[in-house]
Amino acid sequence: MQKKDILIIDDDYRNIFALQMVLKARKLSCQTASSFNEAQEILSQPHNIGLILMDMMMPEIDGYEGISILKKQGCVLPIIAITAQAMSGDKEKCIAAGANGYVSKPVNIDHLMFFIEKYL
């Protein structure tokens, strides 16, 4: 079975770079999108994506709305919400939007890898 890619959706290139380095060190491949619209374009084409890491605080379409849109469009890929706005109730809000998991920034790598191993 072919390994699946991870799609990182984040508008901050520093976060994308950091996540890419962590994933590559674990021999995981990834694709990136700096906006929800770019992510939709990637997902509309033939792809090998098996998991989405979604930043929740993005301009235009934030992660909550993005997850909801993807789920309404029939996306069955697991989505892990990643947020720097770790406020009370955020985890529940992410799960209610359709996320399969929730990781706050700064990212705890063991916590992130738990979800990646669980869903990928």
Please check whether the domain covering 5-119 is classified as CATH 3.40.50.2300. yes
Are 67 and 39 in contact, with CB atoms under 8 Å apart?
A: no
Only one residue has tokens 């060190």, namely 25
Q: Which helix (H) or strand (E) holds 79?
A: strand 79-83
Q: Is 108 helix (H, G, I), strand (E, B) or coil?
A: coil
pLDDT, one tens digit per residue, over 36-86 is 999 999 999 999 999 999 999 988 899 999 999 999 999 999 999 998 766
Residue whose token pair is 């909801």: 68
Adjacent-strand bridge partners of 55:
82
Whether the Cβ atoms of residue 33 and residue 61 lie closer than 8 Å to each other: no
pLDDT score for 2: 63
What is the average pLDDT value for the chain, to the nearest integer? 92
pLDDT of residue 76: 95
Per the CB < 8 A criterion, the answer to whether 83 and 57 are in contact is yes
Which pLDDT does position 1 carry in this prediction?
52
On the question of a cis peptide bond just before residue 106, with omega within 30 degrees of 0, the verdict is: yes
Looking at the predicted structure, is the pLDDT value of residue 87 above 80? no
